[in-house]
Amino acid sequence: MVSLFILEPTPDALHVKCHGKWEHDTVSSTLNHNFKTPLKNIVFDLTSIDTIDTAGAMALLHVKNLLESQGKVFEFQGASKSTQGLLDLCIEHSSTHSKPHKEPKRFSDGLVNIGKMVEEYWLTFMAFISFVGGAVSALGRSAVNPKSIRFRATLYHMEHNGMYALPIIGITTLLVGVVIAYQGAVQLEKFGANIFIVEMVGIAATRELAPLIVAIVIAGRSASAFTAQIGVMKITEEVDAMRTMGFGSWEFLVLPRMLALIVSMPLLVLFGDGVAVLGGMIVAQAELGVSMSEFLARFQETVALKHTLIGLIKAPFFGAIIALIGCYRGFQINSSTESVGHYTTISVVNAIFWVIAFNALFSVLLTELGW
Amino acid sequence: MVAVDVKDIVTAFGSHVVHDGVSFQINQGEIFGILGGSGSGKTVLMREMLMLNTPKEGQIHVLDYPVHKLDDKSKQDLRMCWGVLFQFGALFSSLNVLENVMLPLLEYTNLPKPFIADIARMKLRMVGLEESVVFKAPSELSGGMKKRVGLARALALDPKILFLDEPTSGLDPASSRAFDSLIVSLRDLLGITVVMVTHDKDTIANVLDRFVIIGNKRVKACGDYATLMQEEPDLMQKFMES
C-alpha cells in the first residue's frame, strides 16, 4: 500500500498533500482510506503529484463527493494545467445514476423462467418442423426436376462425410463389437452356452448397435460440420450473396448435405456391421474358443437377414435427421462468434438425442410388428 | 425513367420499428446514395430492395418489378438484372477468384467454359485486378482485393443495376478514390444504375448524383449535394461532420 498523501491538520483546515504517482495501479489505497476529521474544511494540495491518470482523477473526485456528502467543504489546490484538464474531463462526463432498485428474488421467478424455457423450446421445435417441411418440399421439387440437383456438391459431401468417416467408423464399431462380445462371453461361459455368442453379436450388432454407433459418430462429425459451415457462410454474407444471385439455400446448401448423408449412412452402417461382427469373432475365438469358420457357419444359419436389413433401413432416416438438424442450427447462427460455438454444440447434442430417440421408436415399432 | 421506387416502407423487427414511412425514387443511370447515421436502417432498406428482408408495410419496385408480390420465376428474372457487392465481398470460400466470377455465367448461360473464363478475366481486369490473383482463394486476398473481386462478380452478367454496400469502407484513401472513379466510369461506359449505402464523405460530395438521408425512421432529405447544401445547410453540416 503506497501512501500517496500526507495529512497536515491546521487550525482552519485539513491539508492533504498529495504526492507521487496517482494512477490505476496505485490509487486503490486512497479509495480505501477513511478521511475522518472533525475539521469542516478540507484542502487537497495537488502540487506534488508526479503523474496522474483517469483513475487517479476519478479517485480524487470520489473522495471529494464523499466528503461533501458528509457536509465538509472541499477544495483542490495547486493543480497543474494538465491535472486540472483531466479533472474537468472527468467531471464533464461523470453521471449521477441511482443504483437500480433490485427486486427481491421470489420463488415464482424460478417458475417463470421454466415457463419461458418451455415456451422457447416449443417455438424452436415448431420452427424446426417448418424447416423440415421446407426441406421435404425442396426434395420433392428436385425429384420432379432432377437437373436442379447439385450433383457435384452432393458428391463432395458424400466424400467428406461418408468416405472420410470410414476410419473412425471402423475403429468405433470394432471396439463396440469387441466389448459386447466380451461381456456376453463372460455370461455365456457360465452356462456353457458359448456358441450362442454368434446370435448375440450378430443380432445386436447388425440390428441395433452398429446403426446407432455409426449414427452417433456421424452426428458428432457431420452435424457440427454442417452447422459451422453454414453458420460461417451466414456471417460472411455468402448466404445472402447466393440468394441475391438466385442460388437458393435449399438446393445449394441443404439438399446436397441431406442427400449425401441419406445415401452414405446405409453404406457406413453396412461397413460398421461387418467390422463389429469381426470384432465379435475375434473375441469369440480368443475367449470362447469359437473358431472363425464355426462362427461364420452358425452366423449364416441363425442370424436372419432381416436384422441386417432393419439396421440398413434405419440408416437413411438417421442420415436425414443429422443433416436437417445440422443445417437448421447453422441457419440459426447470427453474427456473434459466441453463437457459432453455441449452436454447433447444440446441433450435435440435438442430433445425437434425436437419433437415439428415433432408434428407440423404430425398435419398439418393429418389434411390435413382429419383425 | 425510374429504376427503383420505394413507397411508404415500414420496417419493424418485433416491436423495434426501423422505418416508419420511407419513400423515394431512384432514376435510371444515376449513382444514388442511401445515407444515414449508424442504426438508421440503410442497409436494411437495401436488403428490402434485394428481397433479403421483407418490410412490414409498403411497396418497392425495382426495374418495374413489384418486389413485394413476385412469384418465384419473376424473382429469378429480376435477380438476373442486378449485381450486388456486399460489404466484405461475400466471395464463395470454396471457389477461387476466377471461379467466383465465372459462377453466374456458368449457371445461367450456355456459353462454352473457356469463353466464360475469358469474360471473367476481362471483368477482373476491368476492376483493376491482375492475372496473378486469378487462381487465389478468397482467404488469400486483402480486403480491397476481395471487394474488387466481388465487384467483378456482380458485373458478370452485365446487370442493369448495381447495389453496393459500403463499397469504400475499410479501404485506404487512395483505394477509395480509385474505387469511386471505377464506379463512375462503369456507369458512363455501361449506363448502369448504381445504388450504394455509404458513409464516405468524398464519395458523397463528388460521386453521388443524388442521395437520400435516412434518420429518425424517415427520409430527412433527398436530392443532390449542391441543392441540399443550400436548402438544408444545418442538416448537411451535422451529417457530413458526423
Phi, psi of B233 (to 5 degrees): -60, -35
Half-sphere exposure for A296 (CA within 13 Å, toward CB): 5
Interchain contact, A236 vs B52, CB within 8 Å: no
User: What distance in Å separates the CA atoms of residue A232 and residue A247, rounded to the nearest whole number?
Assistant: 17
Interchain contact, B90 vs A241, CB within 8 Å: yes
The whole-number pLDDT of residue B216 equals 87
All residues of chain A having their beta carbon less than 8 Å from the beta carbon of residue B107 are 246-247
Interchain contact, B90 vs A243, CB within 8 Å: no
C-alpha cell at A226: 454442417
Nearest CA in chain A to B80: A245
All residues of chain B having their beta carbon less than 8 Å from the beta carbon of residue A233 are 93
User: What distance in Å separates the CA atoms of residue A268 and residue A272, rounded to the nearest whole number?
Assistant: 6
Q: H or E element: which one contains A184?
A: helix A166-191
**What is the average per-residue pLDDT within B137-166?**
93
All residues of chain A having their beta carbon less than 8 Å from the beta carbon of residue B50 are 244
The whole-number pLDDT of residue A3 equals 61
User: What distance in Å separates the CA atoms of residue B146 and residue B138, rounded to the nearest whole number?
Assistant: 7
Nearest to B192 by CA among B162, B155, B154: B162
Distance between B76 CA and the closest CA of chain A, angstroms: 6
C-alpha cell at A228: 459451422
Interface of B with A in 201-230 (CB under 8 A): none
Reported as a pLDDT band with limits 50, 70 and 90, residue B29 is: very high
DSSP class of residue A303 equals S
Q: Convert the pLDDT of each residue in B38-79 to its tens digit.
A: 888 899 999 999 999 999 999 999 999 999 889 989 999 999
Interchain contact, A244 vs B82, CB within 8 Å: yes
Q: What is the residue whose three cell numbers read 471505377?
A: B182
Any A CB within 8 A of B82 CB:
yes
β-pair partners for B22: B9
Tens-digit pLDDT profile for chain A (371 aa)? 456 777 777 777 778 888 888 877 777 777 777 777 777 888 888 888 888 888 888 888 888 888 888 888 888 888 888 888 888 888 887 776 666 777 788 888 889 999 999 999 999 999 999 999 999 999 999 999 998 899 999 999 999 999 999 999 999 999 999 999 999 999 998 998 888 999 999 999 999 999 999 999 999 999 999 999 999 999 999 999 999 999 999 999 999 999 999 999 999 999 999 999 999 999 999 988 889 999 999 999 999 999 999 999 999 999 999 999 999 999 999 888 888 999 999 999 999 999 999 999 999 999 899 88
The whole-number pLDDT of residue A269 equals 97
Interchain contact, B87 vs A241, CB within 8 Å: no
User: What distance in Å separates the CA atoms of residue B88 and residue A282, rounded to the nearest whole number?
Assistant: 57
Question: What is the average pLDDT score of chain B?
Answer: 91
Distance between B20 CA and the closest CA of chain A, angstroms: 25
3-state secondary structure of A50: strand
All residues of chain B having their beta carbon less than 8 Å from the beta carbon of residue A238 are 90-93
C-alpha cell at A353: 438425442
Interface of A with B in 242-271 (CB under 8 A): 242-247
Interchain contact, B88 vs A238, CB within 8 Å: no
All residues of chain B having their beta carbon less than 8 Å from the beta carbon of residue A242 are 92
**What is the average per-residue pLDDT within B156-181?**
90
The whole-number pLDDT of residue B6 equals 93
Q: CA-CA distances (angstroms) from residue A75 to A15, A16, A54, A153, A351?
A: 10, 10, 19, 75, 67
Nearest to A91 by CA among A57, A67, A68: A57
Any B CB within 8 A of A34 CB:
no
Interchain contact, A244 vs B52, CB within 8 Å: yes
Any A CB within 8 A of B155 CB:
no
Option in B52, B80, B104 nearest A240 (CB): B52
C-alpha cell at B179: 474505387
All residues of chain B having their beta carbon less than 8 Å from the beta carbon of residue A247 are 107
All residues of chain A having their beta carbon less than 8 Å from the beta carbon of residue B82 are 244
Option in A238, A241, A246 nearest B76 (CB): A246
Any A CB within 8 A of B241 CB:
no
Q: Convert the pLDDT of each residue in B195-215 to its tens digit.
A: 999 988 889 888 999 999 998
Nearest CA in chain B to A153: B94
Any A CB within 8 A of B76 CB:
yes
